[in-house]
């Protein structure tokens, strides 16, 4: 990342090769549109290039930092479609929630493991709501429609769930 | 119900919700602004991003098409991050260390060098000028556009938070209004729901500084028929360092 900050294009290309499939997956999951996701992916790496000097390894891993940028850009793009964008489930985009991939385990086994563990201690519906919110970047409103549950209830599930999650991750 | 217990309170709840990504467009814009001005809130959001971040690794990787990298390379600003200057500085740093190591045995050389014009060492790279940001809001305070001006690239990046297709008979035209003369300069059209990078020419980029206003007016298709805005102003905001 320091080389990227110093303006080394080759370093950015290597970072792209190592991470673009992951970030593209994140964008695609949120936007479910290949062209839009590629536009966002482009913006993401240009942003990484320009902001690499602000990356702080003591606060987050490179992967967390760049996937946060990708999620944010993708969610901004999704919001542009309106607050109810993706209130309907698109079946073919459904992945096996709760089943960590092999890469998840390899990449940050311990941290992902702790998060998995803590998520699984929540109510099933709370866990599902938090996962859907994270993976698909939808608003509370869209989530409430999707789960066919009143907005206030969904909000309360998530807020309580996140509170528990925090307590579980940092006892 | 087994997930009982306390709900989170503000601002922690807002920080968590922003990191999770459940806020609406105006709420997201407000949270981003707050992060820029409220360090403890920004820290809370970052902490939540770190907590939830590992979830992203569960999303299956999908290879983008081969055209994306060349597009990224073309989009990289030529002078950004100033690689050439960085290399030159690295060279000079190395050269200086070497010279000091040899100093004692090099009096003759020093005398010889002393007779030559002094070596001009390039000034250290000054820190990049800060980005300026503006949130363009309606009179009622609703953010409709978010803009950033990058002085290094001399480009304005504007994002419209207006849902596409709201009003197909009109367009949104962006104006830059420097406080010096208060005259609006057109920067071009902003399509609803899109983000756009607008390179500014030298005279416009001089006008893009802290305190300059950005405004968006509602215009007939093709833009304002006159030099300044002809339709109502939808949103206004001032550029500032945040």
Looking at the structure, do residues A112 and A162 belong to the same domain, yes or no? yes
Instruction: Give the residue, B124 or A26, on which the prediction is more confident.
Output: A26
Looking at the structure, do residues A57 and A99 belong to the same domain, yes or no? no
What is the rounded distance in angstroms from the CA atom of residue A26 to the CA atom of residue A74? 8
**Preceding omega of B79 cis (within 30 degrees of 0):** no
Looking at the structure, do residues A61 and A99 belong to the same domain, yes or no? no
Q: What are the chain A neighbours of B15 within 8 Å (beta carbons)?
A: none
> Which of B4, B68, B193 has the CB atom closest to A41's CB atom?
B68
Name the domain count of chain A. Answer: 2
Domain-embedded: residue A114? yes
Looking at the structure, do residues A70 and A106 belong to the same domain, yes or no? no
Of the residues A38, A58, A82, the one at which a domain ends: A82
| pLDDT score recorded for residue B242 | 66
Residue B4 region, left (φ>0) first, then alpha (ψ -120 to 50), else beta? beta
Domain-embedded: residue A31? yes
Q: What are the chain B neighbours of A41 within 8 Å (beta carbons)?
A: 64, 68
Looking at the structure, do residues A112 and A74 belong to the same domain, yes or no? no
Looking at the structure, do residues A73 and A107 belong to the same domain, yes or no? no
What is the rounded distance in angstroms from the CA atom of residue B98 to the CA atom of residue B100? 5
What is the rounded distance in angstroms from the CA atom of residue B104 to the CA atom of residue B87? 28
| pLDDT score recorded for residue A152 | 95
Do B81 and A21 lie within an 8 Å CB cutoff?
no
What is the rounded distance in angstroms from the CA atom of residue B170 to the CA atom of residue B162? 13
Range of the domain at A12: 1-82
| pLDDT score recorded for residue B2 | 45
Q: What are the chain A neighbours of B80 within 8 Å (beta carbons)?
A: 7, 49-50
Looking at the structure, do residues A130 and A60 belong to the same domain, yes or no? no
8 A C-beta contact, residue B221 and residue B169? yes
The domain that contains A152 carries what CATH number? 1.10.10.10
What is the rounded distance in angstroms from the CA atom of residue B130 to the CA atom of residue B133? 10
Looking at the structure, do residues A67 and A100 belong to the same domain, yes or no? no
**∠ at Cα B220 (B217, B226), nearest 5°?**
70
Looking at the structure, do residues A118 and A54 belong to the same domain, yes or no? no
Per the listing, tokens 């949120």 go with: A30
Q: Which of A56, A68, A116 to mutate against chain B (most B CBs within 10 Å)? A: A68
Section A8-32 average pLDDT = 92
Residue A155 region, left (φ>0) first, then alpha (ψ -120 to 50), else beta? alpha
Instruction: Give the residue, A81 or B89, on which the prediction is more confident.
Output: A81
| pLDDT score recorded for residue B230 | 87
| pLDDT score recorded for residue B198 | 85
- pTM beyond 0.90, yes or no: no
Residues 75-94 of A with CB under 8 A from B: 75-77, 79-83
Q: How many CB atoms lie within 10 A of CB B202?
A: 7
Q: What are the chain B neighbours of A49 within 8 Å (beta carbons)?
A: 76, 80-81
What is the rounded distance in angstroms from the CA atom of residue B242 to the CA atom of residue B220? 34
Tell me: pLDDT of A80 over 60: yes
pLDDT in tens, A45-73: 999 998 888 888 887 888 889 999 999 99
Residues 90-129 of B with CB under 8 A from A: none
| pLDDT score recorded for residue A87 | 75
> Which of B25, B48, B57 has the CB atom closest to A79's CB atom?
B25
How many angstroms separate the Cα of A75 from the Cα of each of A85, B22, B113?
10, 9, 60
Looking at the structure, do residues A98 and A165 belong to the same domain, yes or no? yes
At B65, list the tokens.
């098409």
| pLDDT score recorded for residue B88 | 43
Do B58 and A104 lie within an 8 Å CB cutoff?
yes
Per-residue pLDDT of chain B (242 residues; tens, 9 = 90+): 445 666 677 899 999 999 999 999 999 999 999 998 999 999 999 999 999 998 988 888 999 999 999 999 988 875 444 444 444 444 444 444 444 444 443 444 444 444 444 455 554 455 667 888 888 888 877 788 888 898 888 889 888 888 777 777 788 999 999 988 888 999 988 888 888 888 888 889 889 998 899 999 888 888 888 888 888 888 899 998 86
pLDDT in tens, A143-167: 999 999 999 999 999 999 999 999 9
Domain-embedded: residue A151? yes
The domain that contains A46 carries what CATH number? 1.10.1740.10
Q: What one-character-per-residue DSSP string does A56-116 give?
A: -TTTS-HHHHHHHHHHHHHHHHHHTT-TTTT-S--GGG---TT---HHHHHHSHHHHHHHH
Per the listing, tokens 């990191």 go with: B19
| pLDDT score recorded for residue A76 | 92
Residues 189-228 of B with CB under 8 A from A: 192-195
What is the rounded distance in angstroms from the CA atom of residue B18 to the CA atom of residue B43? 12
Domain-embedded: residue A159? yes
Domain-embedded: residue A138? yes
Looking at the structure, do residues A35 and A57 belong to the same domain, yes or no? yes
| pLDDT score recorded for residue B187 | 92
Do B23 and A139 lie within an 8 Å CB cutoff?
yes
* DSSP designation for B106: G
| pLDDT score recorded for residue A90 | 59
Nearest CA in chain A to B17: A159
Instruction: Give the residue, A82 or A136, on which the prediction is more confident.
Output: A136
| pLDDT score recorded for residue A104 | 43
Inform me whether the C-beta atom of residue A14 falls under 8 Å from chain B C-beta atoms: no
Nearest CA in chain B to A22: B61
Q: In chain A, what percentage of residues exceed pLDDT 70?
A: 86
Looking at the structure, do residues A22 and A43 belong to the same domain, yes or no? yes
CA atoms within 13 A on the CB side of A18: 12
| pLDDT score recorded for residue B77 | 72
| pLDDT score recorded for residue B109 | 41
Instruction: Give the residue, A13 or A111, on which the prediction is more confident.
Output: A13
How many angstroms separate the Cα of B222 from the Cα of each of B134, B233, B236?
25, 16, 21
């Amino acid at each position: 990342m320091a080389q990227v900050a110093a303006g080394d294009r080759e370093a950015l290309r290597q970072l792209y090769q190592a991470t673009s499939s992951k970030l593209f997956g994140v964008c695609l999951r949120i936007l479910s549109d290949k062209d839009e996701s590629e536009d966002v992916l482009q913006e993401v790496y240009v942003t990484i290039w320009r902001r690499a000097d602000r990356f702080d390894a003591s606060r987050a891993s490179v992967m967390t930092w760049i996937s946060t940028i990708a999620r944010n850009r993708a969610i901004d793009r999704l919001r542009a479609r309106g607050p109810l964008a993706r209130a309907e489930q698109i079946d073919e985009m459904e992945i096996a929630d709760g089943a960590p991939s092999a890469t998840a385990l390899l990449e940050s086994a311990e941290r992902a493991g702790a998060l998995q563990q803590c998520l699984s201690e929540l109510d099933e519906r709370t866990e599902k709501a938090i996962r859907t919110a994270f993976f698909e970047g939808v608003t509370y409103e869209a989530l409430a429609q999707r789960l066919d549950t009143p907005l206030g209830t969904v909000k309360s599930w998530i807020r309580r769930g996140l509170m528990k999650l925090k307590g579980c991750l940092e006892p | 119900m087994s997930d009982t217990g306390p709900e989170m309170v503000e601002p922690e709840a807002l920080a968590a919700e922003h990191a999770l990504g459940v806020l609406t467009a105006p709420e997201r814009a407000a949270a981003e602004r707050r992060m820029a001005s409220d360090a403890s809130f920004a820290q809370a959001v970052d902490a939540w991003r770190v907590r939830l971040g590992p979830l992203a690794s569960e999303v299956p990787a999908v290879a983008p098409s081969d055209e994306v990298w060349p597009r990224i390379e073309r989009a990289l600003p030529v002078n950004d991050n100033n690689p050439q200057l960085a290399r030159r500085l690295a060279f000079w740093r190395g050269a200086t260390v070497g010279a000091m190591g040899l100093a004692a045995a090099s009096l003759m050389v020093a005398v010889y060098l002393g007779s030559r014009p002094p070596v001009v060492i390039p000034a250290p790279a000054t820190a990049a000028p800060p980005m300026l940001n503006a949130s363009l809001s309606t009179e009622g305070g609703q953010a409709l556009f978010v803009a950033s001006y990058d002085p290094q690239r001399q480009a304005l990046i504007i994002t419209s938070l207006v849902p596409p297709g709201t009003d197909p008979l009109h367009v949104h035209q962006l104006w830059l209004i420097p406080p010096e003369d208060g005259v609006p300069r057109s920067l071009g059209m902003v399509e609803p729901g899109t983000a756009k990078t607008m390179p500014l020419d030298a005279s416009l980029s001089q006008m893009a500084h802290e305190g300059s206003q950005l405004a968006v007016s509602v215009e007939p298709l093709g833009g304002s028929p006159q030099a300044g805005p002809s339709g109502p102003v939808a949103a206004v905001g001032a550029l500032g360092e945040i």
